[in-house]
Amino acid sequence: MSAYRALDLFELDALLTEEERLVRDTARSFVSERVLPVIERHFEQGSFPMDLIPQMAELGFFGANLEGYGCAGLGAVAYGLIMQELERGDSGVRSCASVQGSLCMYPIYAYGSEEQKERWLPRMAAGEVIGCFGLTEPDHGSDPGSMQTRARRTAGGWVLNGTKRWITNGSIADLAVVWARTGEDASSIRGFLVEKGTPGFSAPQIERKWSLRASVTSDLILEDVEVPDSAMLPGVQGLRGPLSCLNQARYGIAWGAIGAMQACFDEALRYATARTQFGRPIAGFQLTQHKLCEMASEITKAQLLALRLGRLKEQGRAQPWQISLAKRNNVYWALEIARTARQILGASGITHEYQCGRHAANLESVITYEGTHEIHTLIVGKQLTGLDAFQ
Ligand code: TGC
Ligand code: FAD
């Protein structure tokens, strides 16, 4: 099959710097050469391709937008382009990198002590320490402010009790960022760094998923887990702590979704031009061209949205509701495009020989995690109306 061609109808490449194009092309080659040859097998087996971790670390993909501590110090757009390319491979591979960089390294970077940063960040950038982020609980998903996980003060530190659910990287993580209440309400929430092997801490894997199969998803169980004072992130308290990390990860997902869209569009276009019915390529039928036109329009709009958001982020001006709007829009359309691609492929679309079915299945998770489609609707709705639907 000829090489992948990314759609760029409005010459957005010209709006990227040379460095950004180089980073994008490096990630693109990595996905073509290292991810795509193995990903279907891992998806079928329900396993994460662990050998990609040192390779992603080597290329500087972990915490790529953080400065110092062994991180690449790239801008927001370059970081977004890495997420885009990884998700062209598989949402699970992008998830691993998002969680490592945006949800585990970022809180240490933004809210950790100097000692915590020195201890963890260089090894996380090098892929020697894998992280996870424990916010969601069995009974508290969209409403993390009601979490039940507790941290109780002791003479030398804290004792943690509770259960986190649906935690990406959980069972393969060496370090978990666990959010817990230290008092009665959400304003008492603090972040704790819990190391694998700490007595009372376990991370059983969640099995039988039909989405994000090439990704590890786990429970985190904390039963009288004792951690020292030095395990608490000193720089933040309240729900703002975890939510500010989600801003970073949701931003990356807004870009990642474009990669999934591009993979599905590329596959659908190739198939439609090659597949003949009624004596002509199905791409020649008006109904197919309508589908392809809709897909290309939405990809182009998603690209413009992500790029503008990235430039705002680089200027320190991206607002959380803008990130919500972009995550909501781009993931919604990625899922629509994956389903439309599957339709264009007919029966072939339901096999593992093609990617669109895998992307569609994955995107059912992506539209749910990091804030569901409905939650992002209400965040944007609050911005537009001044009325808070959550209160
Ligand atoms: P609310 O009263 O609005 O806010 C509480 C405090 O938080 C502040 N805040 C934010 N700060 C930074 N960034 C944001 N985006 C923020 N949103 C709110 C806010 O200013 C306030 O601060 P303060 O100092 O005044 O106290 O909170 P609420 O309880 O009404 O909840 C709001 C809501 C529903 C939007 C929020 O809870 C929410 O976003 N829920 C969705 C939960 C979610 O996204 N979970 C994701 C879990 S992690 C995950 O899915 C990883 S998947 C990884 C992968 O595999 O890629
Ligand atoms: P609920 O909050 O119970 O929502 C159920 C339905 O009700 C949804 O459709 C929702 O939109 C709707 N709903 C809820 N509240 C409202 C409202 N106010 N108005 C209208 N509709 C509403 N979490 C982590 O902490 N760390 C991770 O690494 C992580 N990784 C994940 C990986 C995967 C594969 C998945 C699937 C999830 C992951 N999550 C993770 C959890 C994810 O963030 C939650 O699933 C998500 O926040 C939604 O919570 P919930 O599933 O409990 O659904």
Distance of alpha carbon 265 from alpha carbon 285, whole angstroms:
17
Report the helix count and the strand count for the chain, using DSSP H and E: 12, 9
The finding on whether 288 has its CB within 6 A of some atom of ligand 2 is: no
Site residues for ligand 1, CB cut-off 6 Å = 95, 98-99, 133, 135-136, 142, 144-145, 168, 187, 238-240, 243-244, 246-247, 249, 320, 369-371, 375, 379, 390
Q: Per residue in 272-331, pLDDT tens? A: 999 999 999 999 999 999 999 999 999 999 999 999 999 999 999 999 999 999 999 999
| Burial class of residue 65 in the structure, from the number of CB atoms within 10 Å of its CB (0-12 exposed, 13-18 middle, 19+ buried) | buried
pLDDT classification of 2: cutoffs 50, 70, 90 = low
The ligand that comes nearest to the alpha carbon of residue 92 is 1
Instruction: Check residue 1 and give its pLDDT.
Output: 52
Q: Where are the domains of the chain?
A: 12-125, 131-231, 240-385
Q: Per residue in 173-195, pLDDT tens? A: 999 999 999 999 999 999 999 99
Q: Per residue in 373-389, pLDDT tens? A: 999 999 999 999 999 99
pLDDT classification of 3: cutoffs 50, 70, 90 = confident
From 300, 369, 385, 329, select the one nearest 141 (Cα to Cα).
Answer: 369
CATH assignment of 12-125, among 1.20.210.10, 1.10.540.10, 3.40.190.10, 1.10.260.40: 1.10.540.10
Distance of alpha carbon 361 from alpha carbon 207, whole angstroms:
16
The arrangement of secondary structure in 131-231, i.e. its CATH architecture, is Beta Barrel (2.40)
Mean pLDDT within 60-71: 98
The finding on whether 145 has its CB within 6 A of some atom of ligand 2 is: no
Q: What is the CATH number of domain 240-385?
A: 1.20.140.10
User: Same CATH topology for 12-125 and 131-231?
Assistant: no
Q: Per residue in 73-94, pLDDT tens? A: 999 999 999 999 999 999 999 9
Strand 189-195 with 175-181, pairing: antiparallel
pTM of the model: 0.98
Helix (H) or strand (E) holding 26: helix 18-30
Phi, psi of 104 (to 5 degrees): -115, -50
DSSP 160: E
